[in-house]
């Protein structure tokens, strides 16, 4: 709910999502925590679906949200990616539909017979995941590790033999660009991007790449952080 140009970051995420041609509904899956009352209020004021669930067991929250709203196919977008590109989402959905997959993402890739997390040339901040409700129900029952409960889809990646998985790649490698939100430095970068593109309805990631390439001092603000640090910490906790 941090504000840029007098609007909360969640506003920009929702605006980007509305740029998708394939998403039919947007639901905010937040927590029972008192501090998230403001998120529920935002959802209600903007006529968005909202669900409240467990703060730590995110997998359970997703499952119960999807069950309540009777969602057949779930597009998982995390709110720390307020500049998600709607075209990337639609690419993932198209791949998901055409191949009748259980799970499709732009941030995983196959290595030998396994799948690993990788940006596949996409900048950090454009992560998209799509899965069926049937698969979500299976992993809700099967996943036991704390990391799998927190990160929702990691159980499938670690047990890929049991699922039909695919991915998409970007034609150019922009994986050294970062406009996700994990640290204060990340917010500084995202703030400068949003201030520069203040009047834009939808901001495409190539435009952000262009802005950061022209302003390398901004790109360097959060360059010391790496993709997937949160999941790696969870693995250590396991």
Tens digit of each residue's pLDDT, the chain (238 residues):
999 999 999 999 999 999 999 999 999 999 999 999 999 999 999 999 999 999 999 999 999 999 999 999 999 999 999 999 999 999 999 999 999 999 999 999 999 889 999 999 999 999 999 999 999 999 999 999 999 999 999 999 999 999 999 999 999 999 999 999 999 999 999 999 999 999 899 999 999 999 999 999 999 999 999 877 665 666 567 7
Q: Assign residue 193 the CATH number of its domain.
A: 3.90.550.10
Q: What residues make up the domain containing 19?
A: 10-237
Q: Which residues contact 217 (CB under 8 A, 6 or more apart)?
A: none
Q: Nearest Cα to 76, choosing from 3, 169, 154?
A: 154
pLDDT the model gives residue 150: 94
Q: Do the domain assignments include residue 25? A: yes
> Ramachandran region of residue 152, left (φ > 0), alpha (ψ -120 to 50) or beta?
left
Q: Judge contact between 140 and 41, C-beta under 8 A.
A: no
Number of domains in the chain: 1
Give domain status of residue 132, yes or no: yes
pLDDT of 11 reads: 97
DSSP at 180: -
Cβ contacts of 200 within 8 Å, gap of 6 or more: 207
Please check whether residue 53 lies inside any domain of the structure: yes
* Interatomic CA distance for residues 129 and 124, integer angstroms: 14
And the tokens for 74?
């779930």
Q: What pTM was computed for the model? A: 0.93
C-alpha of 206 from chain center: 18
For the record, the structure tokens of 189 come out as 């970068």
Give Cα separations from 128 to 92, 97, 99, 213 (angstroms).
7, 15, 17, 24
Q: Has residue 3 been placed in a domain?
A: no
In the block, residue with structure tokens 């740029």: 19
Residue 2 inside a domain? The answer is no
Residue 120 lies inside a defined structural domain of this protein: yes
Cβ neighbours of residue 54 closer than 8 Å, sequence gap 6 or more? 31, 32, 60, 61
* Residue 66 within a domain: yes
Please check whether residue 208 lies inside any domain of the structure.
Answer: yes
Task: Give the span between the Cα atoms of 121 and 211, in whole angstroms.
Answer: 18
Of 4, 165, 157, which is closest to residue 82 (Cα–Cα)? 4
């Amino acid at each position: 709910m941090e504000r840029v140009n007098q609007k909360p970051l969640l506003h920009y995420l929702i605006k980007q999502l509305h740029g998708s041609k394939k998403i039919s509904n947007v639901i905010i899956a937040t927590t029972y925590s008192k501090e998230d009352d403001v998120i529920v209020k935002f959802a209600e004021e903007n006529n968005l679906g909202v669900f409240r669930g467990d703060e730590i067991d995110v997998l359970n929250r997703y499952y119960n949200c999807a069950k309540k709203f009777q969602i057949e196919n779930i597009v998982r977008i995390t709110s720390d990616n307020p500049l998600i590109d709607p075209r990337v989402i639609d690419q993932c959905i198209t791949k998901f539909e055409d191949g009748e997959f259980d799970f499709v993402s732009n941030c995983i890739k196959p290595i030998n017979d396994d799948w690993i997390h990788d940006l596949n040339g996409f900048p950090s901040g454009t992560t998209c995941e799509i899965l069926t409700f049937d698969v979500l129900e299976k992993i809700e029952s099967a996943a036991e590790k704390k990391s799998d409960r927190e990160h929702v889809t990691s159980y499938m990646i670690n047990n890929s033999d049991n699922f039909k998985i695919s991915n998409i790649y970007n034609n150019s490698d922009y994986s050294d660009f970062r406009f996700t939100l994990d640290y204060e430095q990340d917010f500084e970068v995202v703030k400068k991007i949003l201030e520069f593109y203040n009047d834009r309805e939808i901001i495409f990631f190539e435009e952000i790449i262009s802005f950061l390439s022209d302003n390398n001092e901004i790109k360097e603000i959060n360059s010391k952080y790496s993709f997937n640090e949160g999941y790696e910490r969870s693995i250590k906790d396991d």
